[in-house]
Amino acid sequence: MNQTTAFNSVQTIINIRGELVDLSYPLVMGILNITPDSFYDGGRYETEKSVIERCEKILQEGGKIIDIGAYSSRPGADDVPENEEWERVESALKIIRSRFPDVWLSLDTFRSGIVQRAVEEYGVDIINDIYGGNADSHMFETIGRLKVPYILMHMQGTPMTMQNNPEYMDVVADISLFFSEKVNELQSFGTNDIILDPGFGFGKTVEHNYELLKRLQEFGLHKLPLCVGVSRKSMIYKVLGVTPEESLNGTSALNTIALINGANILRVHDVKEAVEIVKLVNHL
């Protein structure tokens, strides 16, 4: 199967809260980090006012999904106990659900206990797992029982170790094998709404990241939608010799390439710019 055929056969319909959502027109997911130490926006959203303002901004600028993260995954990040992660998550969910009851919420977590509480108590719509099920043996069973879409991300190692000389035989082929195995396991638990994320920056060198971006269409062989998160990451600012704060232009450039190569969801800090990119690329 050639790349074009694989890309054209991707299943882009997912079920979010009983609504069939077509990702053939890509969606923008706005990042809400409620951590003190994230690499770009750590500590910015720790009050009720700041959380509400961030959510309003995401929605006003055209974001369709808010992705909440309470556990920093920057390289070298410290571990956060589960009870502390849940306290952060619940605090944000209470605020958001009271103010924006119908917004689609994605939760960035690798712990099945937090997944269960967030979905059952606060109606979280999507689970975004940076470990791809590897950190919690109950994750896939929990996702299958709760019937929520699952973003399956690839990471080599852990946030503490992932940038310690990552190596691959072939970065795209190796990640595809990981996806095949994990998708089969997820489906065995009854999960069909699966979104793949190659995990840019998670256990990859700068060269690995650009190889992934260049060959992104090859993941079409899995016939599942793709989520791409390159926003203000080191693959941009290391090449340009700038800081994360100066990496918006580079982010827009790489998001454009990702869309052309088949991305269905862009996970970003800067929603307005990403929404504009989606509109422009859609006109191609």
For residue 27, what are the β-bridge partners? 265
Q: How far apart are CA 244 and CA 233, in angstroms?
A: 7
Question: Per the residue annotation, which of 182, 233, 272, 279 is the catalytic one?
Answer: 233
Q: Is residue 267 among the annotated active site residues? A: yes
Q: Residue 14 burial by CB count (10 A; 0-12/13-18/19+): exposed, middle or buried?
A: buried
Q: Which residues contact 115 (CB under 8 A, 6 or more apart)?
A: 107, 109, 124, 127, 139, 142, 143, 146
Dihedral, CA atoms, 69, 71, 75, 78, nearest 10 degrees?
160
Q: How far apart are CA 274 and CA 38, in angstroms?
A: 20
Q: Is residue 94 among the annotated active site residues? A: no
Q: Which of 260, 191, 267, 268 is nearest to 224 (CA)?
A: 191
Dihedral, CA atoms, 122, 123, 125, 128, nearest 10 degrees?
30
CA atoms within 13 A on the CB side of 203: 19
Tokens read off for 16: 């979010």
Question: Per the residue annotation, which of 97, 267, 272, 279 is the catalytic one?
Answer: 267
CB of 200 closer than 8 Å to CB of 270: no
Collapse the DSSP code of 72 into the 3-class scheme (helix H, G, I; strand E, B; otherwise coil) and give the result. coil
Q: How many residues does the chain have?
A: 284
Residues noted as catalytic? 233, 267
